Chain A
Amino acid sequence: DQQVKQNSPSLSVQEGRISILNCDYTNSMFDYFLWYKKYPAEGPTFLISISSIKDKNEDGRFTVFLNKSAKHLSLHIVPSQPGDSAVYFCAARNTGNQFYFGTGTSLTVIP
């Protein structure tokens, strides 16, 4: 059973515009949510996280929004840059310190 889902396998955005990556989850016991970025032939790199007690966390061009009632989180990248082109994974942690990852969304930022 996939507890963390990323329903969009790919996304293309023009440089300078906003990229919005979405993630849904099923387990209300998750206490932290994280976004990772992955380039080919490299391991995932941590981007940003948010606690379940918050609804927004911002770090530079990256903002994560959490909607607990909808069990939905999103990552906004603005402005998007060609170097942002990568696969983005959302992940969630439960209180037992177990992590669950989505299947990833491949973002392409078009110059």
Chain B
Amino acid sequence: SAVISQKPSRDICQRGTSLTIQCQVDSQVTMMFWYRQQPGQSLTLIATANQGSEATYESGFVIDKFPISRPNLTFSTLTVSNMSPEDSSIYLCSVGVSFEGEQYFGPGTRLTVT
């Protein structure tokens, strides 16, 4: 198993500002992911955070808006840039722990943009 922590747990931000979310894992993991869950919606994969190289973004998500860092195998950050109210969401990081796709999720960061 893996224990994942995220900081901050929640934040209220003004339009046009940026917020960096941190994800810390208690063990080294290869696969780390960032998801978004908008109100009433499913979890949507933003990107796969790759250690030592640029993140792999899903369709509809771009690096300028959601820059990701992965400096080592236990830590990653997601920045939500130039925020608008449409970015209000829960952001979750997860780590892949099995070939079958089992993931452990962090508790999430609830972001509200005013």
Q: Could you list which residues of chain A lie within 8 angstroms of chain B, going by C-beta atoms? A: 2, 4, 32, 34, 36, 41-46, 49, 51, 89, 91, 93, 97-104
Q: Could you list which residues of chain B lie within 8 angstroms of chain A, going by C-beta atoms? A: 4, 31, 33, 35, 40-45, 48, 58, 92, 94, 96, 100-108
Contact B105 A45 (CB under 8 A): yes
Nearest B residue to A49, CB-CB: B100
Given A43-B94, A51-B100, A99-B33, 20 other A-B residues pairs in contact with their CB atoms under 8 A: A4-B42, A32-B101, A34-B102, A36-B105, A41-B108, A42-B108, A43-B92, A44-B43, A44-B92, A45-B105, A46-B104, A97-B31, A98-B45, A98-B58, A99-B45, A99-B103, A101-B42, A101-B43, A102-B42, A103-B40
Main DSSP-derived SS at the B contact region = strand
CA distance A51 to B100 in the complex (A): 8
Main DSSP-derived SS at the A contact region = strand
Contact B45 A103 (CB under 8 A): no
CA distance A46 to B92 in the complex (A): 14
Given A43-B4, A43-B92, A89-B43, answer yes or no on A99-B101 (Cβ-Cβ < 8 Å).
yes
